[in-house]
Structure 1
Amino acid sequence: MGIKSNNIFCYDSIIKREHRERILNQKGKLIWITGFSGAGKSTMASALEVELYNMGKLTYILDGDNMRNGLNSDLGFSEEDRSENIRRVAEVSKLFVDAGIIIIAAFISPFRKDRNKIRNLIGKDYVEVFANCPIEICEQRDPKGLYSKIRNGQIKNFTGIDAVYEEPENPDITINTYEHNVEECVQSIISYIRDDI
């Protein structure tokens, strides 16, 4: 990391968030979906985006794999890199929320301290969704073949197997994805946010 400059001044736009939200006829929000790999985060995020689109809402999905292919391609999977990955996504999300867009973020985000930092950064417009699913069921699903690779010794530091996942203590929404279909999961989120978007 380089030395931070003392010659940086934040630009204050004439057009404010409330103006952008008025044009879009919606409120900016960050819906953060956390849980194990295979818990259904990306599936839920995609279905939620479609539902919000059908409601006339402008959304954007930030997905863990997509971010690591671009903005965060320089990061590995150490605890420090995982935290930096989430920090960068949080800052990008903050810009989107200020633009009046509803962001759906699907990230394992294993550490409570990182998720708490996001809540502090975004404030009242942060909605934490815990995609709760036992690791055994996630492994049975194994949509990306990652659990097979960890069992074969091809992957190290895999969340839920040999790396920690700290469950949310007070998520805004907990969805047992092993008990509900995708439509039911999405409706749980819509019910929670409907009056504030």
Structure 2
Amino acid sequence: MERKALFFLDECRTVISTSIKKVLAKVGSKPVMRVNIGFSSIYVILAINAWTGEVVVSLAKRPNSESVKYFLRYFKRRVGSGRVYMVMDNYSPHKTKGTLEVCRRKGIHPVFTPPYSPELNMAEAVFKSLKNYMSNKIFYTIEDVKNCIKQFFKENKYRFNLNAITYLGLDKIEV
């Protein structure tokens, strides 16, 4: 069976404020953590290959139609020619006339998930790992946030141990 080029696309907002998670500390001690409570943010847009777990990543100031169109062009330059199926949620910038036109010109066939079903998008698993990686860190500037995001993907070599069959639980279905 030939595997088609299948990717999952999504966006995630990352903020400059510190996200606090549990930490290990000596019994009886009181951990002290410096935090930032700023509101500046950056959006991570990524597409993950359903079979290999490889990702294509871009950063954007806003998750609007223009940033999605830019990402799709960038994505297509990275993955090369040929037909690609792109699973996306029903976020309005994914469905604009301009976005759909870029998809058509670049050979990207959008597949939209049902509303309110983030569990069907593999990109959510990557974002969960990213948020965990960024927790308990203090950022003073948005550049610090960007550098942390870049470092996360660099450390993971732009590849995650995910594939669509196991992620969606299709390996447990008997035929």
**TM-score for the superposition, normalised by structure 2:** 0.35
Pick the structure with more helix per residue.
Answer: 1
TM-score under structure 1 length normalisation: 0.32
Q: Pick the structure with more strand per residue.
A: 2
